[in-house]
Structure 1
Amino acid sequence: MSIIGENVIMQLIPLLAIALVIYLVVRRSSHKSKFVPNKNMITTEFTDEHGPFQREKTVAGRGSEKIMMLVFWITVFLAMPAGIVFVLGSVKSSGPIIPVATYLIIWWMCFLGWKQIKEGVSQTPDKVAFMFKMDPFVGALVALFMGVYILLFFGAQRVLSKLWRAMALSGGNTRVRGARIRPAEIEWPLVSTIPFHDLRGRIRHWLTLIKTTPIHEDAIKKAGEEGERKVLALMDGHRGLRDAHLYAGRRIPRTKDHPLIPSRRSEIDLIILTPKAIHVIEVKNWSGELWQDKEDPHQWLRRRRNRDAQGIRSVVEVNQAKAWSLGNYLESRGVAVGAEHIRSHIFFTNPNLKMDMDIKEMPDVVTVHHISGFLAGLGTKTLDRIILRMAKLVLDQESADMVQQGLAGAMPQSIYDQMLKEFDQLHTWDRLHLHGGAVETGDLLWVKSHGHSIKSGDLQPGEQIRIQWQRGRILSLLKAVTGKHLGHIITAKQKVAVDMEGQVFFHFAGQPEPAIVPVTSVDIIERG
Structure 2
Amino acid sequence: MEDINTPSTTGLMDRPAGPDYRLGAIPLAPERFSTWKERLAQWRALRDAPLYLEDGRARAARGAERHAKRRLSVHHATQYGHVFSNKRIPRDVQAAAMGRFEADLIALTPRRVLVLEVKNWSGQLKVAGDRWVQVQRSGAEVTHPNLLAHNREKLRALHRYLAHAGVNIPAERFHQAVIFVNPRLEIDPAIADHPAVLCMDDVGDVLGSGTSLGRHMAARLVQLLTDAETNATLAENLLKVIPPTEVAAATAAIKGLRTWDRLTLRGGRELQGDIIWLRLTGNQAPAAALKPGGAASLEWRRGVIGGIQWVLRNRGAGNLRGDIFWDQHLVPGRRVPLDADDCVYFHEPGEPKPSIIALSHVERLQIG
The two structures have a TM-score, normalised by structure 2, of 0.68
Could you tell me whether the CA contact under 8 Å between 1:479 and 1:486 is conserved in 2?
Answer: no
**Counterpart residue number, 2:178:** 346
Equivalent position amino acid for 2:362 in 1? V
**Counterpart residue number, 1:300:** 132
Instruction: Answer 1 or 2: which has greater helix percent.
Output: 1
Could you tell me whether the CA contact under 8 Å between 2:318 and 2:337 is conserved in 1?
Answer: yes
**Counterpart residue number, 1:394:** 206
Q: Distance in 1 between matches of 2:296 and 2:69?
A: 20
Residue by residue over 1:277-301, the C-alpha shift from the partner in whole angstroms, topping out at 9 and shown as x without a partner, is: 31111112222221112xx22x211
Could you tell me whether the CA contact under 8 Å between 1:467 and 1:490 is conserved in 2?
Answer: yes
Residue by residue over 1:179-230, the C-alpha shift from the partner in whole angstroms, topping out at 9 and shown as x without a partner, is: xxxxxxxxxxxxxxx92322354245346535645433322x1441242243
Of 325-334 and 223-232, the range deviating more from structure 2: 223-232
**Counterpart residue number, 1:209:** 46
**Which secondary structure state, in structure 1, belongs to the residue aligned with residue 77 of structure 2?**
coil
Could you tell me whether the CA contact under 8 Å between 1:447 and 1:454 is conserved in 2?
Answer: yes
Could you tell me whether the CA contact under 8 Å between 1:249 and 1:267 is conserved in 2?
Answer: no
Q: Distance in 1 between matches of 2:72 and 2:180?
A: 19
User: In the superposition, relative to structure 1, how do residues 440 and 467 fare at CA in structure 2: closer, same or farther (>3 Å)?
Assistant: same
Could you tell me whether the CA contact under 8 Å between 1:247 and 1:423 is conserved in 2?
Answer: no
- Percent of counterpart pairs with the same letter? 26
**Counterpart residue number, 1:251:** 87
**Counterpart residue number, 1:418:** 249
**Which of structures 1 and 2 has the bigger CA Rg?**
1
**Counterpart residue number, 1:526:** 366
Could you tell me whether the CA contact under 8 Å between 1:286 and 1:350 is conserved in 2?
Answer: yes
Q: Distance in 2 between matches of 1:217 and 1:467?
A: 18
Q: Structure 1 residue 251: deviation in Å?
A: 1.6
Of 314-323 and 243-252, the range deviating more from structure 2: 243-252
Size of the aligned set, in residue pairs, is 300
RMSD over equivalenced CA pairs, Å: 3.5
User: In the superposition, relative to structure 1, how do residues 429 and 335 fare at CA in structure 2: closer, same or farther (>3 Å)?
Assistant: same
**Which secondary structure state, in structure 1, belongs to the residue aligned with residue 133 of structure 2?**
strand
Of 284-293 and 194-203, the range deviating more from structure 2: 194-203
Could you tell me whether the CA contact under 8 Å between 2:262 and 2:270 is conserved in 1?
Answer: yes
**Which secondary structure state, in structure 2, belongs to the residue aligned with residue 292 of structure 1?**
strand
Equivalent position amino acid for 2:264 in 1? H
**Counterpart residue number, 1:508:** 348
Aligned residue runs from structure 1 range 33-52, under 5 A? none
Aligned residue runs from structure 1 range 181-260, under 5 A? 195-199=32-36, 201-206=38-43, 208-209=45-46, 212-219=49-56, 221-232=57-68, 234=70, 238=74, 240-241=76-77, 244-256=80-92
User: In the superposition, relative to structure 1, how do residues 363 and 229 fare at CA in structure 2: closer, same or farther (>3 Å)?
Assistant: closer
User: In the superposition, relative to structure 1, how do residues 418 and 484 fare at CA in structure 2: closer, same or farther (>3 Å)?
Assistant: closer
Equivalent position amino acid for 1:282 in 2? E
Q: Distance in 1 between matches of 2:192 and 2:341?
A: 52
Q: Distance in 1 between matches of 2:198 and 2:72?
A: 20
Among 112, 118, 124, the alignment partner of 1:277 is 112
Among 259, 268, 271, the alignment partner of 2:103 is 268
Q: Distance in 1 between matches of 2:82 and 2:259?
A: 13
User: In the superposition, relative to structure 1, how do residues 397 and 301 fare at CA in structure 2: closer, same or farther (>3 Å)?
Assistant: farther
Q: Structure 1 residue 498: deviation in Å?
A: 0.9
Q: Distance in 2 between matches of 1:225 and 1:213?
A: 24
The yes-or-no answer on 1:448 pairing with 2:283 is no
Q: Structure 1 residue 524: deviation in Å?
A: 0.3
Q: Distance in 1 between matches of 2:267 and 2:300?
A: 12
Could you tell me whether the CA contact under 8 Å between 1:290 and 1:300 is conserved in 2?
Answer: yes
Could you tell me whether the CA contact under 8 Å between 1:285 and 1:349 is conserved in 2?
Answer: yes
Q: Distance in 2 between matches of 1:360 and 1:239?
A: 23
Equivalent position amino acid for 1:273 in 2? L
Gaps of 5+ in 2: 1-30, 212-235, 324-332
Q: Distance in 2 between matches of 1:327 and 1:395?
A: 17
Could you tell me whether the CA contact under 8 Å between 2:82 and 2:109 is conserved in 1?
Answer: no
Residue by residue over 1:463-505, the C-alpha shift from the partner in whole angstroms, topping out at 9 and shown as x without a partner, is: 3211122446x77876664245333322372445312221223
User: In the superposition, relative to structure 1, how do residues 424 and 481 fare at CA in structure 2: closer, same or farther (>3 Å)?
Assistant: closer
Could you tell me whether the CA contact under 8 Å between 2:72 and 2:78 is conserved in 1?
Answer: no
**Counterpart residue number, 1:288:** 123
Q: Distance in 1 between matches of 2:244 and 2:355?
A: 43
**Counterpart residue number, 1:175:** none
Could you tell me whether the CA contact under 8 Å between 2:112 and 2:207 is conserved in 1?
Answer: no
Could you tell me whether the CA contact under 8 Å between 1:277 and 1:342 is conserved in 2?
Answer: yes
Residue by residue over 1:419-447, the C-alpha shift from the partner in whole angstroms, topping out at 9 and shown as x without a partner, is: 13212333443321012321122333442
Q: Distance in 1 between matches of 2:159 and 2:351?
A: 23
**Which secondary structure state, in structure 1, belongs to the residue aligned with residue 149 of structure 2?**
helix
**Counterpart residue number, 1:429:** 260
Could you tell me whether the CA contact under 8 Å between 1:433 and 1:439 is conserved in 2?
Answer: yes
Equivalent position amino acid for 2:206 in 1? V
Among 366, 382, 405, the alignment partner of 2:198 is 366
Q: Distance in 2 between matches of 1:323 and 1:262?
A: 19
Q: Structure 1 residue 316: deviation in Å?
A: 1.7
The two structures have a TM-score, normalised by structure 1, of 0.49
Q: Distance in 1 between matches of 2:97 and 2:64?
A: 24
Q: Structure 1 residue 340: deviation in Å?
A: 3.3
Could you tell me whether the CA contact under 8 Å between 1:263 and 1:510 is conserved in 2?
Answer: no
Q: Structure 1 residue 414: deviation in Å?
A: 4.4
Gaps of 5+ in 1: 1-193, 368-385, 400-406
Equivalent position amino acid for 1:311 in 2? T
**Counterpart residue number, 1:121:** none
Q: Distance in 2 between matches of 1:350 and 1:243?
A: 26
Equivalent position amino acid for 2:107 in 1? I
**Which secondary structure state, in structure 1, belongs to the residue aligned with residue 143 of structure 2?**
strand
Q: Distance in 2 between matches of 1:398 and 1:233?
A: 17
Could you tell me whether the CA contact under 8 Å between 1:244 and 1:272 is conserved in 2?
Answer: no
